[in-house]
Structure 1
């Protein structure tokens, strides 16, 4: 059995019935020399797993279960290309690895189900957005959250440049393109200068190209994922695109800078300033909805009630507390709630089991810090109408 680096969540491994379920979370570092400590922390995590497995498994079985985890330890290329956090989910037949763009607390759990709250928080849609980097000749699409963003890989047949979009209709430019009245790298106005009709042809080309980009992103991404769209472009292009755009998900302000020249960390901070109000508003709306529905008996923060409702596929959305752990398990066949010691591999975190059940049945799970939770129990469920 080998390990696989994945980007999808939820991954099918969390729904499989293979045991034991091993969950590893460690903070990692992008650069040397800080990243040297990552393998040490990982090695210590493996020792914890071995000790836990000894409670139930024979030495030869432990060696088989741990094989991909041992192999990862020796993968120097992997450890030299980490991000800010690492999540590993492994059972007796599969091992998946997430390189996260956010730090996580060190945690090792061996149980009959996976610990997934840190992954839910990293991938939850509440703070997700899409980012459109645009200039006069090409565009790039990204997806991200508060911790960073990565490029969306478009298919090889998708036109991405003005030449590819317009084909024979493209007017070959001979005008110089520069920035006058400001610095292009810091958001100054991008101006065209040239001679008469040729200038007009180029402006028409840009208009056609921007209309194509707007329609492509709207139809293939915004309508599908319903995420806020941040435009990153020079001031003049920003104005042109905003005038022609029909995308209701396009955020009003955006970032008026060249997406090719701005540093990634700087862009991440600027984008999050634009998205944070949307995130806060969305979570506030969920909290308000929970309070309303709870009053109308269409929501609950009582664990036993919520587990029963989730098993019956009646939970639309559940808010869960980030670091809250309730030791035990949910019987997959009956939905019964059983409490127990977390050190026993037969048990895990009931909140994790509950989150997996809601996700599997098409519900939404949102992880919030304790200070923002509308309940003291660690959960707050909104039922389906």
Structure 2
């Protein structure tokens, strides 16, 4: 499965519920300053302290040691921000910890629950793929990758595609001098071959072009890369010339394009299926369809809350109803994901029929 297929990451979280002990969930916004995590550490320490106090009131105090061990190990890995993430979520059990960057700023809070609060991470992962960015000029290029909202530079010094693979071309003696033998189309062809072979064919991430409008058009004509995205790009000449200074801002623009396109696609699909009588916004109908494995995509409004009908939920300590594991909508989401369906979280204003929950049906 391609690395940018985030559904697999969500499904991997379901394994946490099979582990012994309750799940401690911590969400917090990240300080926006790229070179300062001091406030992040202070806020995390405060949340961990509050979670510990609540946990030890509910369980034997010594049981917290296993959670503390997992948290301490994670905190050692925190470094200066190189991310476009606005928040962070931690899922902790007594023998494991899973952390994800979030593309929105959550409330700083914690929960302790027998069920996995899956809605906060579904909201993040559904529309935010990993992708590569090609900053392109007529005689140079720079590639960056965005994985889990982290911006990375795969090559400290990008290779010249002509010098790095002599078997591909010997026709341009010195492309950097713009001499009489200079051929922009051929140069772009060689960059395209190099990027596809070294990156796209390896990671299968969508490739988004960052270039001025004219060069973007030229490159798309020269490219044979099946991973090149044609409906998303950033046409900013200054962004290319100063790639190292504004790469995170450009990554944010591209990320937002993917999110907007994803939301629009879900809304359009719901309208199409509603006309075919394969969609509903009735909670009773949806609950029955979940039991019958008829849900192709469960669509939930941000912060929507329906009191859980599962009386087996005995532990729930949290301030935000939207993330509460005892939320009936959270339970439905867990079931749909376990049956290989999709779950989407949309802003309330974008919800079909203005409902708290809607669904696209398989049949």
Q: CA deviation at 1:360?
A: 3.4
TM-score (norm 2): 0.74
Give me the whole-angstrom Cα distance separating, in 1, the residues matched to 2:232 and 2:81.
36
Structure 2 residue ranges without an equivalent (≥5): 1-7, 319-323
Q: CA deviation at 1:78?
A: 1.7
- Structure number with higher relative contact order (C-alpha < 8 Å, ≥ 6 residues apart): 2
Structure 1 residue ranges without an equivalent (≥5): 1-7, 178-191, 330-336
Please tell me whether the aligned partners of residues 289 and 295 of structure 2 are also in contact (alpha carbons under 8 angstroms).
yes
| Structure 1 residues 301 and 78: alpha-carbon distance in aligned structure 2, compared to 1, 3 A threshold | same
SS at match of 1:96: strand
| Structure 1 residues 37 and 239: alpha-carbon distance in aligned structure 2, compared to 1, 3 A threshold | closer
Q: CA deviation at 1:371?
A: 1.5
Please state if 1:93 is matched with 2:66: no
Deviation per residue, 1:334-364 (Å, 9 max, x gap): xxx5586773699633323332333333322
Corresponding residue for 1:169?
Answer: 169
Deviation per residue, 1:190-237 (Å, 9 max, x gap): xx3x23xx33xx557415414525865997489x67x6x531135554
Give me the whole-angstrom Cα distance separating, in 1, the residues matched to 2:184 and 2:36.
49
Of 82, 106, 109, the residue aligned with 2:108 is 106
Corresponding residue for 2:278?
Answer: 298
Report how many residues are paired.
340
Of 279, 287, 292, the residue aligned with 2:267 is 287
Please state if 1:259 is matched with 2:232: no
| Structure 1 residues 212 and 311: alpha-carbon distance in aligned structure 2, compared to 1, 3 A threshold | farther
Deviation per residue, 1:239-290 (Å, 9 max, x gap): 3212233558412764242536241244246546xx64x7545434422432
Corresponding residue for 1:182?
Answer: none
Give me the whole-angstrom Cα distance separating, in 1, the residues matched to 2:96 and 2:104.
24
Corresponding residue for 1:14?
Answer: 14
Q: CA deviation at 1:14?
A: 3.0
Give me the whole-angstrom Cα distance separating, in 2, the residues matched to 1:95 and 1:171.
54
Give me the whole-angstrom Cα distance separating, in 1, the residues matched to 2:73 and 2:175.
56
SS at match of 2:352: coil
SS at match of 1:353: helix
TM-score (norm 1): 0.70
Q: CA deviation at 1:368?
A: 0.9
Of 210, 227, 239, the residue aligned with 1:232 is 210
Q: CA deviation at 1:323?
A: 1.6
Of 322, 325, 329, the residue aligned with 2:305 is 325
| Structure 1 residues 152 and 328: alpha-carbon distance in aligned structure 2, compared to 1, 3 A threshold | farther
Structural RMSD (CA): 4.1
| Structure 1 residues 298 and 36: alpha-carbon distance in aligned structure 2, compared to 1, 3 A threshold | same
